[in-house]
Structure 1
Amino acid sequence: MPTLVFIRHGETDWNAEGRFQGQQDIPLNARGRGQARRNGRVLAENLPQAAGYDFVASPLKRTRETMEILRGAMGLEPAEYRLDPILKEITFGDWEGFTGAELKANWPDRVVAREADKWGFTPPAGESYAMLSERIARWLDTVDRPTVVVSHGGVCRVLQGLLLGLGPERTPMLDIPQDRFMIWDGKDAIWV
C-alpha cells in the first residue's frame, strides 16, 4: 500500500452547530479555512515529497475549498487535483441538517437504535457505516501511488478502520480532527 495522506475538510458552520451534514454542500467557515492553511503548511514541512503525490478530493464544496487552500499553502497550483465522487461523505438522508438534540426530539426511537448499532444503523433514506465501508474499500483498492486525499470525517473513520483492521464497534467512534491530518505509512496511522 502506498503512502496515503488523509485530510478532513476544515470546519463549516454546520460542524460548529453540531448538525449532521452528510452530503449537503456546505462551505467552510473562517476557522475551517485557517485549518486548511495550517494543514497545507504542516504537510509541506513534514512531508515535502507530498508535492509530487496524486491529489484527490470529494466533489463537495467544503472538500474542494479545503484542497485548494491546502495546495496554495504548499506552494502548489490550487486547482491541480482531481475529484472522485466515491469519496463523498456518508449520507444521513432525511437527518441531514438536524442537530443531535433535534433528532432526539423528532425520532427518539431511531436515535436509540443508532446508538445501539452505529455501524449497521441506516437513517431514513441514508447510508450506514457498513455501506460506507464497502464503498471506501472499493476506492482503497484503486490506490496505486502515494496520494493526498481531502474528504470527510465518516470517510476517514472507515478508511482508518479498514487500514488498521478495527472492528465495527470501534470504527464509527473514531475522533477525526479537522486541524490535523493522518499519514498512513503502510503499517500505521500517524496524526500530524
Structure 2
Amino acid sequence: MTRPRILFVRHGETDWNAEGRLQGQHDIPLNAVGREQADRVGTTLARLVPGIGDLDFVASPLGRTRETMERLRAVIGLAPEAYGLDERLKEITFGSWEGLTWPEVRARDAAAASERERRKWDYVPPGGESYAMLLERVRPAIDALTRETVLVSHGGVARVLLAMLCNVSPRQAAGLDIWQGRVLVIADGHFTWE
C-alpha cells in the first residue's frame, strides 16, 4: 500500500524538555526556544514544499503541539487555526513517572527503570503505556491519512512511526533522538531529517 508522505514535526522545546522531565501527556507550554523552533520549522516547510498550503495539517491536541502548529502555519502565511486535531496523536504516557527526570525515576524505583532500559519498546511504566501500545493507538490515525500531511506531534509518536513505516527495529526506534526544530520526512519506507 502506497502511503502519502508525512512531514512530521515534533513540538518545540518546553521547560520540562530543557530540564529532562518526562512530560508524557502533561500539558506543558512551549518556552522561548520552543517558539523559535516552531517558527524555524515553518520556514523549512515553506522551502521544502511548494504549494504547502494544499497539504493536510493535523496535530496532537496538547497545547505544545497546537502552539507549534499555529506558529509554523503563521510563518508559512496560512490561517494559524485551520488544521485538524487527533487525540490518537498524543504523546506516550509515562503514568506515575510523568514530571520526573530519569535520575529521579532511577532513585525511586531502580528495578523498574532497569527493566525499562532492557525492554524499552514493550515496558509499561506504572499507570503508563509502552511504545507497542502507543503504536496500536497511533496506527488508525496514520492509516486514515489520504494526502500528504504535516503532522505535529511528539517524540514517542515519531518513534512508533519510524518502526511502523520505515522498518526501523523497535529496539532502535525506542532509542532514537527525535529533534525539535526540524522536519522528519517519511516517504516510501524511508526517512530523512530537514
- Counterpart position of 2:7: 5
- Counterpart position of 2:24: 22
- Counterpart position of 2:99: 97
Q: Distance in 2 between matches of 1:64 and 1:137?
A: 21
- When the two chains are superposed, the root-mean-square deviation of aligned CA atoms in Å is 0.9
Structure 1: segments with no counterpart, 5+ residues: none
Whether 1:179 aligns to 2:181 is: yes
| Aligned length, in residue pairs | 192
Whether 1:159 aligns to 2:158 is: no
1:49 shift after superposition:
2.5
Q: Distance in 2 between matches of 1:152 and 1:48?
A: 25
Partner amino acid, structure 2, of 1:59: P
Q: Distance in 2 between matches of 1:50 and 1:175?
A: 26
Q: Distance in 1 between matches of 2:171 and 2:191?
A: 19
Q: What is the SS of the residue equivalent to 2:170?
A: coil
Deviations 1:13-41 (CA, angstroms, capped at 9, x unpaired): 00000000000000000000000000001
Structure 2: segments with no counterpart, 5+ residues: none
Q: Distance in 2 between matches of 1:105 and 1:128?
A: 21
After TM superposition, the structure 1 = structure 2 runs for residues 68-107 of structure 1, keeping only pairs within 5 Å, are: 68-107=70-109
Q: Distance in 2 between matches of 1:181 and 1:128?
A: 25
Match of 1:35 among 34, 37, 40: 37
Match of 2:59 among 57, 60, 64: 57
Give TM-score, length-normalised by structure 1: 0.97
Q: What is the SS of the residue equivalent to 2:4?
A: coil
1:187 shift after superposition:
3.6
Partner amino acid, structure 2, of 1:155: V
Q: Distance in 1 between matches of 2:128 and 2:56?
A: 30
1:185 shift after superposition:
2.7
Give TM-score, length-normalised by structure 2: 0.96
Q: Distance in 2 between matches of 1:82 and 1:141?
A: 16
Deviations 1:70-97 (CA, angstroms, capped at 9, x unpaired): 0001111101001100000000010000
Q: What is the SS of the residue equivalent to 1:148?
A: strand
Query: Which stretches of structure 1, 4 residues or more, deviate above 6 A after TM superposition?
Result: none
Whether 1:47 aligns to 2:56 is: no
1:65 shift after superposition:
0.3
1:137 shift after superposition:
1.6
Structure 1 stretch displaced more, 113-122 or 134-143 = 134-143
Match of 1:138 among 137, 140, 147: 140
Q: Distance in 2 between matches of 1:161 and 1:93?
A: 23
- Counterpart position of 2:192: 190
Q: Distance in 2 between matches of 1:187 and 1:154?
A: 18
Q: What is the SS of the residue equivalent to 2:57?
A: strand
